[in-house]
């Protein structure tokens, strides 16, 4: 089984910018960069759906300030419930 290639967030963003150019296709950019078309298409979809939060790196999602607050509150509630048992 082969090792999985990882790409930096900057590489992904640059690939997406290239693919959005009207004079190139996703297939051309993917081939030129040595990545699969489906990989580049996935990156484009993630960037569209999540914007700057799309590529957090190392599998740990960056949270918006609202998500951070919600996480903090949920942890607090869980702690109170656990200590109340």
State the pLDDT at residue 69. Answer: 86
State the pLDDT at residue 41. Answer: 96
Per-10-residue mean pLDDT for the chain, 85 residues long? 82 94 94 96 90 73 75 85 71
The structural domains of the chain, ordered by start, are 9-84 (1.10.10)
- What pTM was computed for the model? 0.65
Nearest residue to 10 via CA among 61, 65, 57, 64: 57
State the pLDDT at residue 70. Answer: 85
Round to whole Å and give the CA distance between 50 and 63. Answer: 11
């Amino acid at each position: 089984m082969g090792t999985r290639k990882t790409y930096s967030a900057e590489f992904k963003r640059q690939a997406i910018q290239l693919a959005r150019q009207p004079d190139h296709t996703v297939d051309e950019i993917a081939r030129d960069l040595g990545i699969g078309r489906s990989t580049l298409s996935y990156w484009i979809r993630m960037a569209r759906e999540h914007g700057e939060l799309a590529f957090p790196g190392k599998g740990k999602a960056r949270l918006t300030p609202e998500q951070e607050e919600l996480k903090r509150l949920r942890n607090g509630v869980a702690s109170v419930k656990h200590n109340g048992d």
